[in-house]
A and B are shown apart, each in its own frame.
Chain A
Amino acid sequence: MSVTTPIYLDNNSTTRTDPRVVEAMIPYFTEVYGNAASRSHPFGWSAEEAVDKAREQIARVIGADPKEIIITSGATESDNLAIKGIAEMYADKGDHIITAVTEHKAILDACKRLEKEGKRVTYLPVQANGLIDLEVLKAAITDKTILVSIMAANNEIGVVQPVKEIGAICRERGVLFHTDAVQAYGKIPLDVNENNIDLASITAHKVYGPKGIGALYVRRRNPRVRLTAQMDGGGHERGFRSGTLNVPGIVGFGKAAELAQQEMASETERLQYLREKLRRGIQDAIDETYVNGTMEHRLPGNLNISFNYVEGESLLMGLKDIALSSGSACTSASLEPSYVLKALGVGDELAHSSLRFGIGRFTTEEEIDFVVNRVIREVSRLREMSPLYELAKEGVDLATVKWAAH
């Protein structure tokens, strides 16, 4: 089999920068190196032109106006700017924010920070399929609610929230709608106007662009969204976000956005095919596996499976030639089971035995075949050593077993 290991299947965590993107960035390091804020010479103008073009490319993917794109250092900054910026700007209108328990830590930690400062935050539960219940959302909105922040697609289980319905509810109730669209951007169609999105966080390095560059979409009309800047100094980005612009990074983001948009349709089909091949290959061969999150509304490249009677860490260790994770990279230093899976009602055992597969632009069919074989072999090996699996196969209900102390 013609695959080179290690195989990279962690594309929800970060992606390889597309060579076409790198090529676009290169001149902006050593030739067109001006400060885009320099208004007095062509070094600055050329840099600014490049930034303008990239801003257009970035905006087009979500049907936004280039003026509505605020460049940041990444999605964490975008999320922080959206949540804290709105909370401060609309403080006289209300003090209540609604989000969901399965959001990325960038949202959850920013919300916790606001709670410390006296704001109120409602964390919506999710259903077993990972989606929020729209009726629960409606009931949570009060006349003090200023913002609803629900991610478009989840980073661990890839489920796509009913963004359009959420947008409609928010618009009807006069509440701003922010979505962390990091995983969805460039992967599935997402139009800010069709979906009534007022703010959206996006980042380059999940769509084959470079790290260190992200953006916040901020609606300019119907309604005109205002925001308290979180980074002061110089008044770049229409005063919303100061700091010298990372020109090569922005150019790379623009190119990555353009490529993602051009290739979205064909890539979606390819990824879904590979993902199905992976899922069926695993589930047809191994019993007691459970897909986490709905398969119906899901990012094309994402698969998250729990393997009963197998310990997640041992499985990851056994699959060292495949770059995988059991959940978010941002929390991968911790041994806690995924809070996202727990929110779906997945038990501790199954939550501890989950693997996240992130299939991407550079994943080949041969690699998927290889991975299926390796996973089957490794899970079988670990289960052969598992007395629990043996008992379960004999028909013993493990919940009723009384364990002897020793």
Chain B
Amino acid sequence: MPPKTIYLDYAATTPTDPLVFDAMLPYLGGDGFGNPSSVHQAGQRVRRAIDQARDTLASEIGAEASEIYFTSGGTEADNTAILGVLLAARMETGRDHLVTLVTEHHAVLDCAQFAEKTLGFRVTYLPVDREGFVPLESVAEAITDRTALVSVMHGNNEIGTLQPVAGIARLAHERGAYFHTDAVQTFGQMPLAVAALDADLVTLSAHKIYGPKGAGALFVRQGVRWTPWLHGGQQEREKRAGTENAAAIVGFGKAVELLPTWRDSEALRLARLRDDFIAQVLAAVPGAGLNGPAGLRRLPNSTNLSFPGTDSESLLLGLDLAGIAASAGSACASGSIEPSHVLLALGMPSGLVRSALRFSLGRGTTSEQLDRVTTVLRRLVSSDGPVRV
């Protein structure tokens, strides 16, 4: 890997913080290798470490430890939340309807489609406005007495739109439905309290907050009716079977513990860098446009820009030659040639969608790096083919 590469894909994943990694090591290679379900000391030591991570995470989001369920990541947490609530609701109350947005992460959307096509649930996919927001009136109209769950992500992974989740949660609760939010992108960028979100279920992931891949969590408020998704052991209070990924969970706990030491100042720093970068690119590159909202209604680290008349594939190629790592959208869909479903949902023509790039900022980002990106972008867009830079 070229050491001088400028990494601007923090929304896809983040490097593991060295302090997090140090905390994990004893559970990777040291004596902390026991199976936490074992009653002997080797197991119980690991059990205590997992409990501690659970306490840390719970207190960070203002939850009870008993409301935290560790999973293998955000995707599993989303799947568990949606299918778990829908299946339980159909059995217990007859509610069989899900409300979600067209701009959700694929972990929610594909799961919703599975619920619809294979399991026979009804799903409403709400449209969004030109900045990616869902109007509260349309949420209110969509929810019925058959609605079991409303799932709306907190901060969008492609365009950074911060949804008014508490308002949406209230609408869900008024009609007796539960509210789930995928807060994977927001967790490292702003304080997150389940009471303020008013959410019944919240999806979180470690590898977006400088923790390791392979650990996520689902918050489920006490009393919410849901069925497990993985069967076969008594782990996670019989709600998530499988030997716990102890090292990753410990790393998750450490990453959460470190959050308050950097999150707020980093959010301010990144928001400034982001705004300067956007202004710079819009001024330097003819025709460039910002996708999604600006300012406080956007995730501090998120930029998404389109460059009419170009295509993102060749731009990414040119950026890569210049040592800049960016993406055209979600990493989870980057193997596909489909244009971004999120940008299409904003009403952008598909040609413009195919010219969009996502630059997501993070801990290693500096204004010098962004200056360089601007320079490279200007050259790439103004020339006809790939350029040496």
Contacts and interface: CB of A to CB of B under 8 A. Distances in A.
B256 interface: no
Contacts of A110: 231-232
A38 B72 contact: no
A337 interface: no
Highest count of chain A CB atoms <10 Å: which of B2, B42, B214, B319? B214
A30 B18 contact: yes
A41 B40 contact: no
A247 interface: yes
Contacts of B74: 243-244
B34 A75 contact: no
Given A249-B213, A329-B35, A232 B331 contact: no
B184 to A, nearest CB: 10
A236 B74 CA distance: 14
B253 interface: no
Contact of A233 (B42, B79, B205, B335): B79
Nearest to A333: B234
Given A76-B243, A106-B232, A244-B331, 17 more contacts: A10-B43, A29-B16, A30-B18, A35-B12, A38-B325, A42-B1, A72-B72, A73-B76, A212-B214, A212-B248, A230-B229, A232-B114, A233-B108, A242-B106, A246-B72, A330-B233, A330-B241
Contacts of B335: 37, 39, 235
Interface stretch (A16-24, A160-168, A267-275): A16-24
Contact of A37 (B16, B235, B332): B332
B42 A75 contact: no
Given A29-B21, A37-B335, A105-B233, A248 B212 contact: yes
B177 interface: no
Interface in A257-300: none
Nearest to B323: A42
A6 B43 CA distance: 12
10 contacts: A10-B35, A10-B38, A29-B21, A38-B13, A38-B327, A41-B325, A77-B242, A249-B213, A249-B245, A322-B40
Interface in A15-72: 15-17, 19, 21-22, 25-26, 29-35, 37-44, 46, 72
Interface string B225-267: 0000111111100000111111110000000000000000000
A107 B232 CA distance: 7
Contacts of A8: 34, 42
B75 A243 contact: yes
B110 to A, nearest CB: 3
A105 B2 CA distance: 47
B106 A42 contact: no
Highest count of chain A CB atoms <10 Å: which of B1, B25, B29, B231? B231
A254 interface: no
A79 B232 contact: yes
A26 B5 CA distance: 20
Interface in B289-326: 316, 319-320, 324-326
A323 B76 contact: no
A138 interface: no
B215 interface: yes
Interface in B119-177: none
A213 interface: yes
B245 A235 contact: no
A212 B215 contact: yes
Interface residue tally of chain A, by bracket?
35 or more
B49 interface: no
Nearest to B42: A323
Contacts of B96: none
Interface residue tally of chain B, by bracket?
35 or more
Interface in A200-257: 203, 205, 210-213, 228-236, 242-249
A43 B7 contact: yes
A108 B242 CA distance: 13
Nearest to B329: A40
B50 to A, nearest CB: 11
Nearest first, the 8 closest Cβ-Cβ pairs linking A and B are A212-B245, A106-B232, A233-B107, A234-B332, A73-B72, A41-B325, A246-B214, A76-B242
B65 interface: no
B198 interface: no
B43 A40 contact: no
Contacts of A76: 230-233, 241-243
B37 to A, nearest CB: 4
B389 interface: no
A93 interface: no
Interface string B31-75: 001110111111100000000000000000000000000011111
Contacts of A106: 231-233, 241-242
Nearest to A112: B231
A202 to B, nearest CB: 13
A324 B330 CA distance: 46
Given A42-B1, A246-B72, A10 B42 contact: yes
A331 B319 CA distance: 53
A325 interface: yes
Nearest to B205: A244
Contact of A329 (B37, B106, B248): B37
Nearest to B77: A243
Contact of B12 (A31, A38, A73, A108): A38
Contacts of A108: 232
B348 interface: no
Highest count of chain B CB atoms <10 Å: which of A75, A229, A248, A320? A248
